[in-house]
Structure 1
Amino acid sequence: MRPFLPLLLAVLLTGAARAQQPAAPGIALLVQQLAQAPDPLPELPLKEARRTLPQARQRYQRGLPTGISFYLTARVLNEAATPEPVVVAVDTWQGSHISGRIMRLGPNGLPTPNAPVHLDEAAVLDWIVLRPNGTEEGNFLGKFLDLEERLAALQD
């Protein structure tokens, strides 16, 4: 049993270090956008996110390279039992069950993982693969909301 102890320790320490990594500025923007998002959310980007979700799930479950983070946008019930779209830092995804941490903006304006959440894949709205250099894949909803904000700013 002792040969497994270093491996177990390495896995635990890697997970703790990953949990403490700060999220990129793009995640902060998405958290803000979702807090102000229209209800209902725009259907077109959600349709594309749902279409590409199976491939994103497969990539996550095969294992992502070191430094790459995986987030989901999902609809969960808040403290008032009202559905709310949130950003979730994914910890595990087994079958259709997902465990992660809801990202909230801290007092410094940076997104930090807060409350743990367990949800079913049916609650997923969108997905984001985030690289250390800030580039991303997915985030169809965030990109759509960003484009709407930019177009509205041009009209002002």
Structure 2
Amino acid sequence: MKTPFRRALLVAIVAGVGRGGLLLAQGTTPVVLTDATTPAGLRPALSRNETALADPMREALRTLPQAKKRFLAGLPTGDQFLLSVRVLATDTSFRQASARVLGWHGNTVQALLLPDAASSTAPVEPVPVSFPETAVVDWTLLRANGREEGNYVGRYIDTSRQLENMPFR
């Protein structure tokens, strides 16, 4: 798995350099947010988000080492291991994004950052990214039959939205 990811990353970088800068075909290289990469102006919003999602994030991060071991042992054909990370959207905002894990080397994850289906009308290709394990917000093991494990933060957000949309009596 190391070779295909590195090859895809190299092709993406070379394609961007050929355009006169480190740009990918779909725009700039996404920045996965960590303590080191978060701009100072974005830290208050990130902190508020972490406070609001503290319990489901705590459970996701508590169970991540077990999920990582299962991934490294090998997943059955058709299963996918997804990680949720925060990606810089603008200078003052971020979005949560899913990344399909290709490999895990120590504490560094190699993945394909999946496009945000809601914000795009045209098909967009996944972008190869590499980020430290500390950037992970949530994890999901998506089985070939559609069943999922994990997704603590995602289910919490979905439940919160459903409760917000319930009519008062």
TM-score (norm 1): 0.67
**Alignment partners' CA distance in 2, 1:51 and 1:94:** 19
Match of 1:142 among 154, 157, 164: 154
Match of 1:115 among 127, 132, 141: 127
The equivalent position to 1:45 in structure 2, one of 56, 62, 77, is 56
Mapping of residues 4-153 of structure 1, within 5 Å = 39-41=48-50, 42-78=53-89, 80=91, 83-104=94-115, 105=117, 106-107=120-121, 113-153=125-165
Over residues 68-93 of structure 1, what are the superposed CA-to-partner deviations in whole Å (9 max), with x where a residue is unaligned?
Answer: 00100012445648654211111111
Offset at 1:123?
Answer: 0.4
Identical residues among aligned pairs (%) = 34
Contact preservation (8 Å) 1:75, 1:84: yes
Unaligned 5+ runs, structure 1: 1-10, 13-37
Q: Distance in 1 between matches of 2:113 and 2:91?
A: 16
Number of equivalences: 121
Q: Deviations over 1:22-58 (max 9, x none)?
A: xxxxxxxxxxxxxxxx951411100000110000000
- Name the TM-score, length of structure 2 as normaliser: 0.62
The structure-2 alpha-carbon separation of the partners of 1:45 and 1:68, relative to structure 1 and needing over 3 Å to count, comes to same
Q: What amino acid does structure 1 have at the position aligned with 2:60?
A: A
Counterpart amino acid of residue 72 in structure 2 = Q
Structure 2 Cα separation of the partners of residues 59 and 53 of structure 1 = 10
**Cα pair distance change 1:78/1:118, threshold 3 Å:** farther
Runs of 4+ residues deviating >2 angstroms: 75-85
In the TM superposition, what is the alpha-carbon distance from 1:117 to its structure 2 partner?
1.0
Within 2, Cα distance between the matches of 1:146 and 1:81? 24
2:77–2:144 Cα contact (<8 Å) kept: no
Question: SS of 2:114's equivalent?
Answer: strand
